[in-house]
């Protein structure tokens, strides 16, 4: 622990500001992912069909990301990070305090989702630009670790609010998420010009027939992931009556296990190869999804 603190004290100020910004946005992610399904059920009483349809506008910003990044291409990446943090803050605050109707909620959700998707492109670029030569993998690991730790903290806040605030849990949780996003915007704004600002060199989109299996697997993986992440928590909330506190507790456990096993699975992949890991992943998820379907 002392060695870790020593490394932190001696780290580049720009890197510390960046990682703290990532941490606060990670808190936002942990809060939203833990509370969103309960919020939708308790506030708008959506049907399963309505919940499924809601994923289209929620994921739409990710689909048009190529156009959004084109509009922002003239700006330094550092400013992208500030914009994404502020968009997320406004969207989450709107969800908590300015969503008396379903349609208004959609507006705020689109803002939050746009900020979240845009930061996915910014995070790695800034992190790699702040890495030393040969240290890119280590930097990505630091970002991943900080994000997971922050998500655990965010889920912990939801659990605490659910235990103490009663019906006010969502307002408190979304207020905390908005404040965390504002804090990340302040930290990113403090980065000096040139810190993580360089854009990656433009590369042509690659489309080759010999990669068709890879493309197909990505489509299937994305579809399965989206369906499961949409309806697995929804089943727990609407069918089994999982409370916000329980969902937050499950999120904390999931984030913690992900942190613990991620490196182990990486080492196992190096040992047995990617193909066997993909096959094992598919078989395990088959049983998990079947368990949800028939339980």
Please state, as a whole number, how many other Cβ atoms lie within 10 Å of the Cβ of residue 229: 12
pLDDT, residue 7, reads: 63
Q: What is the DSSP string of 61-123?
A: HHHTHHHHHHHTTTS-HHHHHHHHHHHHHHHHHHHHHS-SSHHHHHHHHHHHHHHHHHHHHHH
pLDDT, residue 80, reads: 87
* pLDDT cut 70: percent of the chain above it: 92
Q: Which two tokens stand for residue 228?
A: 């499961």
Q: Which two tokens stand for residue 239?
A: 């069918």
**pLDDT-derived band at 133, boundaries 50, 70, 90:** confident
Q: Dihedral of CA 159/161/165/167: which sign?
A: negative
Nearest to 77 by CA among 14, 13, 134: 14
Residue with the larger pLDDT of the pair 196 and 291: 291
Q: What angle do CA 76, 77, 82 make, to 5 degrees?
A: 100
pLDDT, residue 114, reads: 94
Residue with the larger pLDDT of the pair 27 and 72: 27
Q: Dihedral of CA 165/171/175/181: which sign?
A: positive
Q: How far apart are CA 254 and CA 30, in angstroms?
A: 11
**pLDDT-derived band at 195, boundaries 50, 70, 90:** low
pLDDT tens string 157-168 = 999 999 999 889
pLDDT, residue 47, reads: 93
Nearest to 112 by CA among 228, 20, 33: 33
Q: What is the DSSP letter of 295?
A: -
pLDDT, residue 152, reads: 95
* pLDDT cut 90: percent of the chain above it: 51
Instruction: Reply yes or no on domain 12-198+210-294 having CATH 1.20.1250.20.
Output: yes
Q: Dihedral of CA 284/270/261/84: which sign?
A: negative
pLDDT, residue 287, reads: 92
Residue 246 has pLDDT above 70, yes or no: yes
How many Cα neighbours within 13 Å face the side chain of 93?
11
pLDDT, residue 204, reads: 58
pLDDT tens string 85-130 = 999 999 999 999 999 999 999 999 999 999 999 988 888 778 877 7
Tell me the pTM. Answer: 0.88
pLDDT, residue 51, reads: 95
Q: How far apart are CA 123 and CA 143, in angstroms?
A: 8
pLDDT, residue 88, reads: 97
pLDDT tens string 202-224 = 555 677 888 888 889 888 888 88
Which of 8-12, 42-46, 270-274 comes out lowest in average pLDDT? 8-12
Residue 239 has pLDDT above 60, yes or no: yes
pLDDT, residue 5, reads: 62
pLDDT tens string 66-84 = 788 777 777 788 888 999 9
Residue 175 has pLDDT above 60, yes or no: yes
Q: How far apart are CA 71 and CA 83, in angstroms?
A: 13
């Amino acid at each position: 622990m002392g060695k870790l603190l020593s490394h932190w004290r001696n780290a580049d100020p720009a890197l510390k500001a960046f990682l703290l910004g990532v941490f606060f946005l990670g808190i936002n992610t942990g809060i939203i992912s833990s509370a969103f399904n309960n919020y939708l059920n308790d506030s708008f009483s959506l049907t399963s069909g309505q919940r499924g349809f809601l994923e289209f506008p929620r994921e739409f910003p990710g689909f048009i990301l190529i156009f959004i990044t084109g509009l922002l291409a003239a700006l330094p990446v550092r400013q992208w990070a500030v914009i994404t943090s502020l968009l997320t803050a406004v969207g989450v605050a709107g969800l908590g305090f300015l969503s008396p109707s379903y349609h208004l909620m959609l507006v705020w959700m689109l803002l939050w989702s746009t900020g979240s998707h845009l930061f996915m492109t910014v995070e790695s670029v800034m992190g790699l630009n702040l890495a030393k030569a040969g240290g890119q993998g280590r930097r990505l690991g630091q970002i991943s670790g900080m994000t997971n730790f922050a998500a655990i903290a965010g889920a912990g806040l939801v659990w605490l609010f659910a235990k103490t605030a009663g019906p006010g849990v969502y307002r408190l949780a979304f207020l905390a998420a908005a404040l965390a996003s504002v804090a990340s915007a302040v930290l990113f704004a403090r980065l000096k010009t040139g810190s993580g600002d360089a854009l990656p060199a433009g590369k042509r989109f690659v489309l080759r027939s010999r990669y068709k299996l890879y493309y197909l697997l990505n489509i299937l993986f994305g579809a399965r992931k989206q369906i499961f992440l949409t309806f697995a928590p929804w089943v727990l909330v609407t069918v089994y009556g999982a409370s916000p506190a329980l969902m937050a507790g499950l999120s904390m456990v999931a984030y913690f296990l992900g942190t613990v096993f991620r490196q182990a699975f990486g080492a196992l992949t190096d040992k047995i190869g990617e193909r066997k890991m993909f096959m094992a992943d598919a078989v395990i998820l088959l049983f998990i999804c079947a368990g949800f379907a028939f339980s």
